[in-house]
Structure 1
Amino acid sequence: MTTQHLPESPYQQAASRAIPRIALVGVHGFGERHLANLARLEKAGAVELVAVADPNPPSPGTLAGSVAVFADLDGLLAARPGADVVILATPIQTHAPLAIAALQAGMDVYVEKPPVASMAQFEQVLAVARENGRLVQVGFQSLGSHALPAIREMVAAGDIGTVLGISATGQWLRTKAYFKRSRWAGKRRLDGTDVVDGVATNALAHAVATGLFLAGAHTRTDVASVETDLYRAHDTESDDTSVLRVRTANGGTLLCALTLCAPEQLDPTVTVHGTLGDITLFYTQDEVLITTPDGERREAYGRTDLLENLLDARATGAPLLCALEDTGAFTGVLEAIRTSPAPARISPEFVSWEGGGDAAAHPVVRDITNLLERAVKAQGTFVELGVPWARPLPAVRTLTVGGHPVADYQDGSHVRAVSSPRPYLHPVRTLSGVAVTDHMPLDHVWHLGAGVALQDVGGVNFWGGRTYTREAGEYVWRPDHGSITVTASHLTRAGSGQEGRLQETLAWNGPDGTPILVEDRTWKWSGVAPSIWRLSLDFALSPVGSKPVSLGSPGSNGRYEGGYGGFFWRLPECRDAAVWTASGAGEAEIHGSVTPWLAWSGTFDGGPATLAFVAPERCTDPWFVRAEGYPGVGQSLAWDSPVTAEPGSPVRRQVTVFVADGILATADIERLINQQGDPS
């Protein structure tokens, strides 16, 4: 945090001897809290409230008779009441001009959050403060919490291992009346002036500011990039349900998942996620929850009042806890929101309204609690999660059969590093449009549709998440995640759009970017029947250098029946799910079995569908099946022992999947396979 060391002026020397004289602009709304705080400090003999300004004067008897009352700041300044500090608790769009006026009049300023409505205003106010040698404190009260330095000490001491990321989560509810309380509420602009009201810039701005603080982002140069994904369920201009992803200059990530459309109001949190545990700050309570493998513990902390801190800074030169320049990072986030496209409206089919009358009526976005949790765990936006009401995630390309889009190809560039970024297909659909893949599900956010992934490639994790090691005998976080990128591709179509082929060359790169494997991959797809199409995958893995590379799995590293890796298909949840082969049914019976085919059927969102996974002739790879904990099917490349990719002798695998609308029976599947011939 930037520390201000200003030369002690005669003004400051007088301030250190006399009781500071305070003027408050804005006595209603949050201004009422300032009045209560000033009453407390006056009783202690620490300040004197000499003037207030508000076009709507306070109720008679609210203030002492000695307090001068004005309609606005101009009138207050013209009367020269001798105020040393001005507190601004006014609408967002007035903060900058009022702060500039007070600073030019020789006063220090305490301004409520957000301090300004644009980066240009931030620079203007900061320049005026420096020109006049004045202090500006910003009212992010949570930054006065003694929990913040304590959390930093815990992180520095390694209490939760290596930091994986930081998240800020807020689930509040706001009624129609909240957005009708003033003309500027819920506005992005008003009368041609920026307002930038919204869930991240105002209502839950403390979550963002506190998250930035713990991420080490204070000034504007501490922020490398800001990605915004903004939505609204209220009839407003501003966003009320949003995800922000902030990349910091020091290489960290802050993911803010926020809504004002929750089913109930919960205490907002900021969490530091580590390889050995988490530290969660409930910032409105100054309480910290530390979670490690050894258990949980809670700790409570005190808080320094930011007005008292400002008074101390004036008297002694002590550093401000929330100096204006230290909100440059927050203003960078606000600027990204200000310049983003207008928030998209959440389709009413995903919103329910609860309560009656403006004072109680509030929207609830369907499943919003789980969606925010998914966003935090995946460090992903609503778009990237594929939320149905969000903007669509642009596909690199779309696979089609007879004009029907049957699969979107994603390159994985949006996937967080610890989920092992890689290309994949999602959503894969039936010809009628039923989605039969999932990606970034809450239970395993590193599961990505249909594709190829391995957890142990010469010690590098190309699967995502924790790594199972024989030494630990369990899953542990390690900095071992690789990424798979496409280096060349060629797409061809034939059969009047009924067939397609995508041939690719891919690089399997280690955590430092060094290539480990080169892969030749071919996807082929074609129509089979009016309600069935066929997808096949052929891939070959070769070492980049002259040395062999071991390809393994949790199973080959000692986890019983944990031999997943290679081809993997993550299904979405479905009703009446059934998984079977020609010789058995159910996860317990067919997990680890070697059979020519495996089928999965169920009723998905959109309708019933069946998937038939077909192995090539003489394939000895066991099927990996999960149906109870989560729905997934794969071919195990290294079930209980590693496979070696030798120079000049690649490891090659094949699989075919028939994607059908409706529920197929065993006879239907075998007839389909016989008609199509050997998939290899």
Structure 2
Amino acid sequence: MTQPLTASAAEVPSRLPRVALVGVHGFGERHLANLDRLAAAGALDLVAVADPRPPADGKLDPGVEVFPSLDELLAAGTEPDVVIISTPIQTHAPLALAALKAGANVYLEKPPVASMEQYLEVLAAAASAGRLVQVGFQSLGSEAFPAIEALVAAGEIGEVRGLSATGLWLRTQSYFKRSRWAGKRSLNGTDVVDGVVTNALAHAVATGLRLAGARTVSDVASVETDLYRANDTESDDTSVVRVRTRGTGLVGGPVLTCALTLCAPVQSAPAVTIYGTLGQLTLFYTEDRVEITTPQGVRTETFGRTDLLENLLSAGSEEDLLSPLSGVGAYVAVLEAIRTAEAPRLIHPDYVTWEGEGDDAHPLVHGIASLIRRAALGQATFAELGAPWTDVAADSGAALSNLPEFRVNGTPVATLQDGTRIRPTSSPRPYLHPVRTLAGTVVTDHVPEDHVWHLGAGVAIQDVDGINFWGGRTYTRDAGAYVWRKDHGRILTESVDHSDGQRREQLSWLGPDGSPILREQREWRWAAVGHSAWKLTLDFTLQSATGRPVLLGSPGSNGRPQGGYGGFFWRLPKVGDATIWTPDSRGEDAVHGTAAPWLAWSGTFDAGTAGAAHVTGDPGLGHPATLVFLASPQAPDPWFVRHSGYPGVGLSLAWDAPVTAAPGNRVHRTVTVLVTDGFLATQDIEQLISTLGEPA
């Protein structure tokens, strides 16, 4: 007897997930291609699309229904299991709420919302409906993430010091004409928050936050924004965002600095870098490529990627999602900071070159590639770096801060930075920058790419009883090399007496734990010397704040030959055709380590001029200037000179042996610098010095 065929529930083929796509143009076309791929593989059934502009004939399979809106799609009884939302930013939240209310899971393109209020509303709606929301940060599907976590946890790059997200992209005028909302902060009173940070290079921010261990809103301690635009838009196209995280996981609350632009000369792969004490690790997230740099060399690994829609279709709970809405709260905190920030400042047109014609035209911000690198390495904003277009913004009335200035006959010649915004591993301290000639030529540099802890003109010592007040790595006798250590101190200004031509300061040198190590009395004096020169005098006295002797050392006193820097130091900008000499010697090698009454540095300072008065017509070809450093009369400290590696001059307190600041033995030095326009010869210098009443 033939028995009727029966099948168990497990043998009955399950219904394919029903998917609807909202928004078929722009990035929606990529979703259509992916849906075609997955449908062909038998992973889903595309049942409907919604767009006020229907797709072209033949774009969809005959069985796919087309609607002008999501509301009409849902009202027609299509009952999608998943709704993909790839529409203008300002529509994301209301469409997501409608899809969740209809009982669908949601794939929400980035940025997921346009405000923190919307984020919390959608988050609550998803929890109430018991539905899942995946956010389209595709990079978070990379298999590089667990590999990176394992590498860092294993100590491959040592302890994490910080992270950066960098992006040098190029966007033409057509990019901002592609839709009404492009380049807008709001549209008809509705938040849009388009921009380089929140949209174009949002993946860089989201990737950086994930690697920093920041997922939720509470993982973000603060967000600082420095927003600019070269295009005729409302939104930013060239910005730095600095995120201080609390961190609960792998890297424990580091700072993430996002330095991003759409105004680069050429487009390059964006990247997120984790900086460690033994090396660094860079994820080129669009390529799923990781570059690991350690003392053993550089190696590259490439990883696969899980499609976020496939991940959503297979997920049984939120914990299974690679980019859940609940896991991008830190990103929304950044978006909210930008939404509520002042409108981006316009970059002065003199610092922008336009290339191309018509819709293919695009702006190129001068020097942007170097500024992006410096911002990332120094954890600094464009304003803190002193990008010239930020000076223009300040001069036009949008002052970023009220920093003390030194003026000679009404001309600003130096600005005093308090150093409080310098990253901790650069040993924050007060310093002068920019220092200018009377004609406006800038003769100092700070936070340069090669040594981001070099800060203008001031006082810095690498070894103060084992504490680094110089910044960067520390040279130790045991290692016989420079190593990253948690040994960085900071110098704080306690009191100030500022008058015309003179500034007296009381400073405290504090160790990593905040305990006082040294007290310093510092005095700056400045005055004109003729029509094309002025003099700057720095007088400083160091005394122990511990009640016991304090040793002041250097790499030289710790065993590094010719490395006796520490004390007075002046970091110069790029100088062309530089000539360096003393009364008896000429050239870097000849004067380095010698004691001489003065040292001169002459050349073409390519940093040019700064300030609005010098913007228009400045060809940027360099400006001749000469600096004359007069030795301290208190001790025959050797000159420390660098030119081939980087331009810098100092007087060494501890060339090859430490000096002691004891309760009854203060360390006192006076250094005078003559800052002149033009090229000077030895005879000119000696005549100039004689007018000061100083021995030549």
Please tell me whether the aligned partners of residues 634 and 670 of structure 2 are also in contact (alpha carbons under 8 angstroms).
no
Tell me which residue corresponds to 1:4.
none
Matched position secondary structure for 1:121: helix
Please tell me whether the aligned partners of residues 103 and 132 of structure 1 are also in contact (alpha carbons under 8 angstroms).
yes
Give, as a single letter, the amino acid of the residue that structure 2 aligns with 1:363: P
1:241–1:618 CA distance, 2 compared to 1 (3 A): closer
More divergent stretch after superposition (553-562 vs 363-372): 363-372
Q: CA deviation at 1:252?
A: 1.0
Output aligned runs, 1:102-501, within 5 Å. Answer: 102-250=99-247, 251-314=253-316, 319-358=320-359, 360-390=360-390, 391-392=393-394, 394-493=401-500, 500-501=501-502
> May I ask how many residue pairs the two structures share in their alignment?
659
In structure 1, what is the Cα distance between the partners aligned to 2:671 and 2:354?
47
Q: CA deviation at 1:527?
A: 2.0
Please tell me whether the aligned partners of residues 634 and 669 of structure 2 are also in contact (alpha carbons under 8 angstroms).
no
Any gaps of 5 or more consecutive residues in structure 1?
1-12, 494-499
Tell me which residue corresponds to 1:539.
540
Q: Percent identity?
A: 65
Give, as a single letter, the amino acid of the residue that structure 2 aligns with 1:621: D
Q: CA deviation at 1:674?
A: 2.0
In structure 2, what is the Cα distance between the partners aligned to 1:101 and 1:67?
21
Please tell me whether the aligned partners of residues 430 and 532 of structure 1 are also in contact (alpha carbons under 8 angstroms).
yes
**C-alpha offsets along residues 582-636 of structure 1, whole Å, 9 cap, x if unaligned?**
1121111111111111111222224322211112446310111112222111111
In structure 2, what is the Cα distance between the partners aligned to 1:608 and 1:265?
35
Give, as a single letter, the amino acid of the residue that structure 2 aligns with 1:661: D
Matched position secondary structure for 2:32: helix
1:195–1:34 CA distance, 2 compared to 1 (3 A): same
In structure 1, what is the Cα distance between the partners aligned to 2:632 and 2:109?
67
In structure 1, what is the Cα distance between the partners aligned to 2:149 and 2:351?
40
Q: CA deviation at 1:172?
A: 1.3
Please tell me whether the aligned partners of residues 656 and 679 of structure 1 are also in contact (alpha carbons under 8 angstroms).
no
Q: CA deviation at 1:317?
A: 6.6
Matched position secondary structure for 1:656: strand
Q: CA deviation at 1:102?
A: 1.0
TM-score of the superposition, structure 1-length normalised?
0.94
Give, as a single letter, the amino acid of the residue that structure 2 aligns with 1:538: D
In structure 1, what is the Cα distance between the partners aligned to 2:542 and 2:259?
39
Please tell me whether the aligned partners of residues 633 and 670 of structure 2 are also in contact (alpha carbons under 8 angstroms).
no
Any gaps of 5 or more consecutive residues in structure 2?
1-9, 248-252, 395-399, 610-622
Matched position secondary structure for 2:97: helix
**C-alpha offsets along residues 60-98 of structure 1, whole Å, 9 cap, x if unaligned?**
111111111000111111111121111000000000111
Q: CA deviation at 1:396?
A: 2.8
Give, as a single letter, the amino acid of the residue that structure 2 aligns with 1:432: A
Alignment of 1:87 onto 2:84: yes
**C-alpha offsets along residues 397-425 of structure 1, whole Å, 9 cap, x if unaligned?**
11112211111111001100111000001
Tell me which residue corresponds to 1:667.
683
**C-alpha offsets along residues 104-154 of structure 1, whole Å, 9 cap, x if unaligned?**
111111110000001111111111112222111111111111111111111
More divergent stretch after superposition (573-582 vs 220-229): 573-582
Tell me which residue corresponds to 2:4.
none
Matched position secondary structure for 1:106: coil
In structure 1, what is the Cα distance between the partners aligned to 2:292 and 2:175?
34
Q: CA deviation at 1:491?
A: 1.4
**C-alpha offsets along residues 457-490 of structure 1, whole Å, 9 cap, x if unaligned?**
1111101111111111111111111100011111
Q: CA deviation at 1:318?
A: 5.2
Please tell me whether the aligned partners of residues 132 and 318 of structure 2 are also in contact (alpha carbons under 8 angstroms).
no
Matched position secondary structure for 1:454: strand
Tell me which residue corresponds to 1:66.
63
Tell me which residue corresponds to 1:596.
597
Give, as a single letter, the amino acid of the residue that structure 1 aligns with 2:678: G
In structure 2, what is the Cα distance between the partners aligned to 1:193 and 1:405?
44
Q: CA deviation at 1:162?
A: 0.6
Matched position secondary structure for 1:265: coil
Q: CA deviation at 1:432?
A: 2.2
Q: CA deviation at 1:395?
A: 4.7
Tell me which residue corresponds to 1:514.
515
TM-score of the superposition, structure 2-length normalised?
0.92
Please tell me whether the aligned partners of residues 188 and 195 of structure 1 are also in contact (alpha carbons under 8 angstroms).
yes
In structure 1, what is the Cα distance between the partners aligned to 2:632 and 2:298?
50
Give, as a single letter, the amino acid of the residue that structure 1 aligns with 2:374: R
Matched position secondary structure for 1:455: strand
In structure 2, what is the Cα distance between the partners aligned to 1:361 and 1:402?
45
Give, as a single letter, the amino acid of the residue that structure 2 aligns with 1:377: L
Q: CA deviation at 1:575?
A: 2.5
1:444–1:679 CA distance, 2 compared to 1 (3 A): farther
Give, as a single letter, the amino acid of the residue that structure 2 aligns with 1:263: P
Please tell me whether the aligned partners of residues 86 and 102 of structure 1 are also in contact (alpha carbons under 8 angstroms).
yes
Structure 2 residue aligned with 1:615, among 631, 643, 660? 631
Matched position secondary structure for 2:389: coil
Structure 2 residue aligned with 1:36, among 24, 33, 37? 33
In structure 2, what is the Cα distance between the partners aligned to 1:576 and 1:488?
41
Q: CA deviation at 1:346?
A: 1.7
1:468–1:110 CA distance, 2 compared to 1 (3 A): same
Q: CA deviation at 1:16?
A: 10
In structure 2, what is the Cα distance between the partners aligned to 1:372 and 1:618?
42
Matched position secondary structure for 1:529: coil
Q: CA deviation at 1:534?
A: 1.5
Please tell me whether the aligned partners of residues 395 and 408 of structure 1 are also in contact (alpha carbons under 8 angstroms).
no
Give, as a single letter, the amino acid of the residue that structure 2 aligns with 1:257: A
In structure 2, what is the Cα distance between the partners aligned to 1:530 and 1:469?
47
In structure 2, what is the Cα distance between the partners aligned to 1:242 and 1:317?
33
Q: CA deviation at 1:677?
A: 2.0
Please tell me whether the aligned partners of residues 576 and 603 of structure 1 are also in contact (alpha carbons under 8 angstroms).
yes
**C-alpha offsets along residues 258-297 of structure 1, whole Å, 9 cap, x if unaligned?**
1111122211111111011111111111111111010112
In structure 2, what is the Cα distance between the partners aligned to 1:55 and 1:109?
20
In structure 2, what is the Cα distance between the partners aligned to 1:16 and 1:589?
85
Q: CA deviation at 1:367?
A: 2.1
Please tell me whether the aligned partners of residues 100 and 128 of structure 1 are also in contact (alpha carbons under 8 angstroms).
yes
In structure 1, what is the Cα distance between the partners aligned to 2:325 and 2:628?
61
Please tell me whether the aligned partners of residues 163 and 272 of structure 1 are also in contact (alpha carbons under 8 angstroms).
yes
Q: CA deviation at 1:663?
A: 2.1
In structure 1, what is the Cα distance between the partners aligned to 2:446 and 2:634?
31
Q: CA deviation at 1:678?
A: 3.7
In structure 1, what is the Cα distance between the partners aligned to 2:54 and 2:480?
69
Tell me which residue corresponds to 1:646.
662
In structure 2, what is the Cα distance between the partners aligned to 1:489 and 1:368?
36
